[in-house]
Amino acid sequence: MKKIILASALLGVLAFGSDQFAMSDADRAMYQEMLENNPADMDVAWGGELFEANIGSEEALAKFLGVKAEELAAYLSGFPRYIEKLGMVASQEQVLQGAMAEAGKKPLALKSKEMAAMGAYVKSLSNGLPISIDINANEQMKKAYAFGEEVFTQHRGGRGLSCMSCHAPAVIGSILRTQPLPDLGSEANKAAATWPAYRMTKSSMSTLQKRFQGCMENALLAVIPMGSPEMNALEVYVTHAAKGKEIAIPGLKR
């Protein structure tokens, strides 16, 4: 009964799409301009410089991952994935930390702007390729996907909310805080294929895991640490929803 009441309360603050909540003409014009000149392009370029300074080359990263250099872009399109060398289902950023450590460099923090930029650059190497995550590749990925689904659907916090509270089929398309609630795997949103992305409302680039944390903060939920098994599993679950969608980094979000 409690969950039903809470869900009803949430629906009470949601409104379905209308002109009242539509993007303003000024915001729409800015969005169209940024589609052509995404400010995060500079972050990606900076990330390339950081990558060269900390890891060296695409060949070095491919060697760390145990793949051929010409296979790197396709391999990267399958993250998050189980990395035997790390003994875990890892995000791309955690692989970069491992590669930096192996190169004798101090790994950048997952939450740092530098890591976000470098991660964006590395993911952009797969631009134009479809997301190829394989949740049946091994037992570790199967467990990560199941765990991610649990994290996505579990009701937490004083409000009893979950990711599903804003992304279930019944509420997709309704408006919360002036923004439409998206289907994370739809062609229009394809979340995992377009993060890291520039957020117009924050005037900065953000990673998918950092965006997850922002949602949790807004819902007054305990924030799951970046790179934790729970957060990586959640990224696996959401990435699978966009499997087959074309990677386009950096993305642009309102």
CATH of residue 208: 1.10.760.10
Sign of CA dihedral 131, 151, 180, 39: negative
Range of the structural domain that residue 136 is part of: 13-253
Q: Does the pTM of the predicted model rise above 0.75?
A: yes
Locate 208 and state its tokens: 């998918």
Contact 101, 119 (CB under 8 A): no
pLDDT at 189: 60
Report if residue 8 sits inside a domain: no
Contact 136, 63 (CB under 8 A): no
Report if residue 143 sits inside a domain: yes
Q: What is the 3-state secondary structure (H, E, C) of 127-187?
A: CCCECCCCCCCCHHHHHHHHHHHHHHHCCECCCCECCHHHHCCCCCCEEECCEECCCCCCC
Report if residue 2 sits inside a domain: no
Report if residue 4 sits inside a domain: no
Report if residue 6 sits inside a domain: no
pLDDT at 65: 98
Q: Give Cα 188 to chain centroid, integer Å.
A: 15
Reading the chain (254 residues) residue by residue, the pLDDT tens digits are 334 333 433 444 444 444 444 555 655 555 555 556 788 999 999 999 999 999 999 999 999 999 999 999 999 999 999 999 999 999 999 999 999 999 999 999 999 999 999 999 999 999 999 999 999 999 999 999 999 999 999 998 888 888 888 877 776 666 666 666 667 655 556 778 999 999 888 888 899 999 999 989 988 889 999 999 999 999 999 999 999 999 999 998 87
Report if residue 33 sits inside a domain: yes
pLDDT at 29: 59
Report if residue 177 sits inside a domain: yes
Number of residues that this document lists for the chain = 254
Count how many domains the chain has.
1
Alpha carbon distance 81, 2 (integer Å):
37
Report if residue 227 sits inside a domain: yes
pLDDT at 7: 42
Backbone φ, ψ for residue 61 (5° rounding): -65, -40
Strand, helix or coil for residue 88: strand
